[in-house]
């Protein structure tokens, strides 16, 4: 909704729908049982371009909802899965994309704890990533050209932060400044060789959240 798109939020709980309406997390919020195809149709859900089924641990409701959406003509359905079996069933009933948000966020968190110098990371595939990191002292006041990152570390700089904005494909003669952000791409093992701190912070405690509720 913050990007200017119309978003419809639904849940079986009147209390949660009321809370979502007060907090304005969606354009419209309705109390709907998503396992009922007629209810989805009356709510106008089948007219939406994309629908996200955020039902994780209630497998039956998740699968029925996904099936209802695809049979109702929704072009693109993203469904949350809680296990590999759940994911397989979602694909079989027509889900266009299946995600494991807890698993993906867990991996992202693990990477940030291990590589404390990395601000953000996007995995291109299991072996390659695009990462945002801060310029280390070893690179301070040196040009991209003289650092020869591709031949030395096997990574390439995609962008450099300059006055709060990223400059894409920066000039090789541009000097890097300690502490500023750069975005690089490369193999994960090569990125790990960059001169940044790789030691995890001590005494991290991870707690498991409560099970997801069905919409």
- Strand order, beta sheet including 118-125: 118-125, 128-134, 181-187, 155-162, 165-168
Q: Is residue 135 part of a domain?
A: yes
Cα distances from 192 to residues 110, 118, 131, 160, in angstroms, run 14, 10, 11, 19
pLDDT of amino acid 74: 96
Q: Domains in the chain: how many in total? A: 2
Whether residues 50 and 125 fall in one domain = no
CATH value at residue 42: 3.40.50.720
Among 99, 122, 138, give the residue marking a domain's end.
Answer: 99
Whether residues 137 and 152 fall in one domain = yes
Among 99, 125, 140, give the residue marking a domain's end.
Answer: 99
Q: Is residue 81 part of a domain?
A: yes
Whether residues 92 and 128 fall in one domain = no
What is the spatial distance between Cα 35 and Cα 10, in angstroms, rounded to a whole number? 12
pLDDT digits (tens, 9 = 90+) for 202-213: 444 444 444 445
Whether residues 108 and 185 fall in one domain = yes
What is the spatial distance between Cα 215 and Cα 10, in angstroms, rounded to a whole number? 6
pLDDT of amino acid 50: 95
Q: Is residue 2 part of a domain?
A: no
Secondary structure string (H, E, C) spanning the chain = CCCCCCCEEEECCHHHHHHHHHHCCCCEEEECCCCCHHHHHHCCHHHCCEEEECCCCCHHHHHHHHHHHHHCCCCEEEEECCCHHHHHHHHHCCCCEEECHHHHHHHHHHHHHHCCCEEEEEEEECCEEEEEEECCHHHCCCEHHHHCHHHHCCEEEEEEEECCEEEECCCCCCECCCCCEEEEEEEHHHHCCCCCCCCCCCCCCCCCCCCCCCC
pLDDT of amino acid 28: 92
Q: Is residue 25 part of a domain?
A: no
pLDDT of amino acid 212: 47
Q: Is residue 71 part of a domain?
A: yes
pLDDT of amino acid 145: 92
Q: Per residue of the chain (215 residues), give pLDDT as tens.
A: 888 888 999 999 999 999 999 998 899 999 999 999 999 999 999 999 999 999 978 899 999 999 999 999 999 999 999 999 999 999 999 999 999 988 888 877 777 676 666 778 788 887 898 989 889 889 999 999 999 999 999 999 999 998 888 999 899 999 998 888 999 999 988 988 888 633 344 444 444 444 445 55
Q: Please give the structure tokens belonging to residue 196.
A: 């940044």
Contact 130, 184 (CB under 8 A): yes
Query: At residue 183, what are phi and psi to the nearest 5 degrees?
Result: -120, 125
Among 49, 80, 99, give the residue marking a domain's end.
Answer: 99
Whether residues 184 and 116 fall in one domain = yes
CATH value at residue 173: 3.30.70.1450
Q: Is residue 204 part of a domain?
A: no
Whether residues 36 and 88 fall in one domain = yes
Whether residues 80 and 108 fall in one domain = no
Q: Is residue 208 part of a domain?
A: no
Residue of 25, 38, 40, 83 lying closest to 58 (CA atoms): 83
pLDDT of amino acid 95: 96
Domain that holds residue 55: 32-99
Q: Is residue 215 part of a domain?
A: no
Longest dimension (CA), the chain: 65
Whether residues 116 and 74 fall in one domain = no
pLDDT of amino acid 158: 94
pLDDT of amino acid 164: 81
């Amino acid at each position: 909704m913050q990007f200017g798109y119309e978003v419809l939020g639904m849940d079986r709980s009147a209390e949660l729908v009321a809370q979502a309406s007060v907090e304005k997390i969606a354009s419209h919020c309705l109390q709907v049982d998503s396992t009922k195809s007629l209810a989805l149709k009356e709510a106008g859900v089948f007219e939406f371009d994309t629908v996200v089924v955020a039902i994780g641990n209630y497998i039956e409701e998740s699968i029925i909802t996904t099936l209802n959406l695809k049979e109702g003509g929704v072009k693109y359905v993203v469904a949350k899965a809680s296990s590999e079996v759940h994911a397989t069933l979602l694909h079989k009933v027509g889900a266009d994309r299946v995600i494991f948000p807890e698993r993906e966020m867990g991996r992202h968190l693990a990477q940030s704890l291990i590589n404390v110098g990395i601000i953000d990371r996007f995995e291109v595939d299991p072996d390659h990533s695009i990462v945002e990191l801060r310029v280390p002292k070893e690179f301070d006041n040196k040009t991209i050209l003289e650092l020869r990152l591709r031949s030395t570390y096997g990574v390439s700089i995609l962008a450099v932060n300059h006055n709060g904005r990223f400059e894409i494909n920066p000039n090789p003669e541009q000097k890097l400044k300690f502490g500023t952000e750069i975005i690089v791409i490369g193999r994960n093992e090569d990125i790990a060789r960059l001169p940044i701190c790789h030691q995890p912070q001590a005494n991290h405690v991870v707690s498991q959240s409560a099970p997801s509720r069905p919409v």
